[in-house]
């Protein structure tokens, strides 16, 4: 039961920090005002109204009793006095009481007027109208065969302080809530900024200079996050610089070795050794490529279709088939994304015959499918092929140039864009299907 209730609450309540804090601040104020209003309305307003109405109806009864008498001089004198002193207008008519009931359904004023009139004059000897005139209430009472029509100021039965009370109860609470909104906005903004920076950093973007602001705890969190981001960034730069440095430096002795091998007399040995040197060279190139992929590149609006058409024109192969029905532009690192797609496409062209690229778009995600018609990858190797330098045994014979870094670079790039890369054997082209999803 309580589990269901808390679930309902979770669904109803806003998820954002700002709105949650606002509810925490505003809800008690609003509830308090409602309680005060109800208490006031019931105990003060309605009771005061009842008292006023009762005394007014008492006056009306006195008037009606006097008007039933025959002393015209006294009646006229009284009419004049009431007009002069109380703003009453009193008429005596030879008519019947109106039939249409003018009582408003939810008006406490009408309700207590009806009750009092009924208890004094009886069930069908009165009629009243509180709406016809703006500040005047009309009451008609039956007295013998005549009707006494009395018009009196509305304020006689309506305490005018209600409007003032409502104003003073809502105005300060609105003022309080507005002040709370301004303060809360200032307090939640630094947290939102920090969350945005963390999201950006998580996706692999470089975040520079977070300005700590807000409460001291939030300032501290921002400051520490900035320090951590800078340290990780330094570490990444150092690693790629070291990798590219080593790879670069090793190239010169390798070239020297190649030259020396060319001059070697034992040709069969020299051929075998150059093969190994070639392999080492391609490994070094891959290292360099990997190091390059780690270099910070700024995220910009990137046209994915353009990346694929560029790859297609570079490959210039009739085995590469593009099917791009939607135009996609997303914020990402263009060169990295191109390298990622290129690595997967390259694999397809190396280990299969034809490569088919297609895309689909959902509300917040782009799916890129790169299919081929090759032998695919055994299910139990799906995890392994993403490990650096991991190659399936048979591929060594097919493609000697590779070192086993292509897929891990691709995965690294996709992950750093907040996306996901998956392999499956469900391709309609009977080979491997690589599905890359990227957030839009
Ligand atoms: N489309 C594919 N079909 C069949 N096997 C594949 C396919 N793509 C990758 N593989 C297997 O996965 C292994 C790892 O691929 P990866 O791209 O990481 O390295 P590589 O292609 O061998 O070398 P590199 O890409 O660094 O030049 C490959 O050696 C290959 O055995
Ligand atoms: Mg590869």
Domains and CATH numbers, the chain: 14-159 (3.30.450.300), 200-295 (1.10.287.130), 297-439 (3.30.565.10)
Given the CA of residue 408, which atom of ligand 1 is nearest to it? 18
Measured from the alpha carbon of residue 404, the closest ligand is 1
Ligand 2 centre from 15 Cα, in Å? Answer: 44
Measured from the alpha carbon of residue 346, the closest ligand is 2
- Choose the residue to mutate in 280, 281, 290, 351 for probing ligand 1, maximizing ligand atoms within 8 Å of C-beta: 351
Given the CA of residue 434, which atom of ligand 1 is nearest to it? 1
Ligand 1 centre from 404 Cα, in Å? Answer: 6
Measured from the alpha carbon of residue 397, the closest ligand is 1
Q: Is the CB of 328 under 6 A from ligand 1?
A: no
- The confidence score (pLDDT) of residue 354 equals 93
Q: Is the CB of 419 under 6 A from ligand 1?
A: no
CA distances from 391 to 19, 355, 371, 381, 396 (A): 52, 20, 19, 10, 7
Q: pLDDT 10s per residue in the chain (440 long)? A: 456 777 887 788 888 888 888 888 888 888 988 888 888 777 777 788 888 899 989 988 888 888 877 778 888 888 888 888 888 888 888 888 888 877 888 787 888 889 999 999 888 889 999 888 888 999 999 887 788 899 998 888 877 666 777 788 889 888 988 998 998 888 888 898 899 888 888 777 777 777 888 889 989 999 999 999 889 888 888 887 887 888 888 888 888 988 888 888 888 888 888 888 888 888 788 777 777 666 667 788 999 999 999 999 998 889 999 988 888 898 888 888 999 999 999 999 989 999 999 999 888 899 999 999 989 899 999 999 999 888 887 655 555 567 888 899 899 889 888 899 999 998 889 999 999 999 98
- Choose the residue to mutate in 391, 396, 412, 431 for probing ligand 1, maximizing ligand atoms within 8 Å of C-beta: 391
Q: Is the CB of 402 under 6 A from ligand 1?
A: yes
Q: Is the CB of 403 under 6 A from ligand 1?
A: yes
Measured from the alpha carbon of residue 402, the closest ligand is 1
Ligand 2 centre from 60 Cα, in Å? Answer: 103
Q: Is the CB of 44 under 6 A from ligand 1?
A: no
Ligand 1 centre from 391 Cα, in Å? Answer: 6
Residue with CA closest to ligand 1 atom 4: 376
Measured from the alpha carbon of residue 282, the closest ligand is 1
- Choose the residue to mutate in 404, 411, 426 for probing ligand 1, maximizing ligand atoms within 8 Å of C-beta: 404
Q: Is the CB of 348 under 6 A from ligand 1?
A: yes
Please count the other Cβ atoms lying within 10 Å of the Cβ belonging to residue 291.
19
CA distances from 287 to 244, 335, 350 (A): 7, 17, 20
């Amino acid at each position: 039961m309580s589990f269901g209730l808390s679930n309902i609450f979770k669904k109803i309540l806003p998820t954002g920090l700002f709105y949650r804090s606002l509810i925490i601040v505003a809800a008690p104020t609003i509830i308090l005002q409602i309680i005060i209003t109800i208490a006031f309305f019931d105990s003060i307003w309605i009771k005061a109204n009842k008292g006023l109405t009762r005394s007014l109806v008492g006056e009306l009864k006195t008037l009606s009793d006097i008007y039933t008498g025959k002393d015209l001089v006294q009646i006229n004198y009284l009419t004049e006095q009431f007009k002069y002193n109380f703003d009453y207008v009193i008429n005596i008519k030879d008519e019947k009481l109106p039939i249409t009931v003018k009582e408003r359904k939810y008006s406490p004023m009408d309700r207590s007027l009806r009750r009092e009139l009924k208890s004094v004059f009886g069930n069908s000897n009165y009629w009243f109208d509180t709406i016809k005139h703006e500040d005047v209430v009309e009451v008609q009472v039956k007295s013998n065969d005549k009707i006494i029509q009395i018009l009196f100021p509305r304020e006689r039965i309506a305490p005018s302080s209600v409007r003032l009370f409502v104003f003073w109860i809502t105005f300060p609470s609105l003022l309080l809530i507005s002040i709370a909104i301004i303060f809360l906005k200032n307090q939640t903004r630094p947290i939102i900024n920090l969350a945005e920076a963390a999201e950006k950093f998580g996706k692999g973007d470089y975040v520079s200079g977070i300005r700590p602001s807000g409460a001291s705890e939030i300032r501290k969190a921002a400051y520490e996050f900035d320090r951590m981001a800078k340290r990780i960034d330094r570490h990444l730069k150092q690693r790629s610089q070291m990798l590219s440095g080593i790879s670069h430096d090793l190239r010169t002795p390798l070239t020297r070795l190649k030259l020396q091998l060319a001059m070697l007399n034992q040709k069969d040995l020299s051929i075998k050794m150059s093969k190994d040197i070639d392999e080492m060279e391609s490994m070094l190139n891959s290292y360099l490529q990997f190091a390059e992929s780690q270099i910070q590149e700024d995220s910009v609006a990137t046209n994915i279709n353009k990346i694929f058409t560029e790859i297609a024109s570079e490959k210039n192969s009739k085995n590469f088939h593009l099917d791009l029905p939607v135009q996609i532009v997303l914020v990402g690192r263009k060169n990295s994304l191109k390298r990622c797609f290129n690595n997967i496409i390259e694999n397809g062209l190396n280990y299969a015959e034809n490569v088919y690229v297609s895309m689909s778009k959902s509300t917040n995600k782009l799916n890129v499918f790169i299919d081929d018609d090759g032998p695919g990858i055994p299910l139990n190797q799906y995890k392994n092929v993403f490990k650096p330098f991991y190659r399936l045994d048979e591929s060594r014979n097919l493609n000697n140039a590779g070192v086993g870094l292509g897929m891990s670079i691709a995965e690294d790039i996709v992950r750093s864009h907040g996306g996901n890369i998956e392999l499956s054997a469900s391709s309609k082209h009977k080979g491997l299907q690589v599905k890359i999803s990227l957030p839009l």
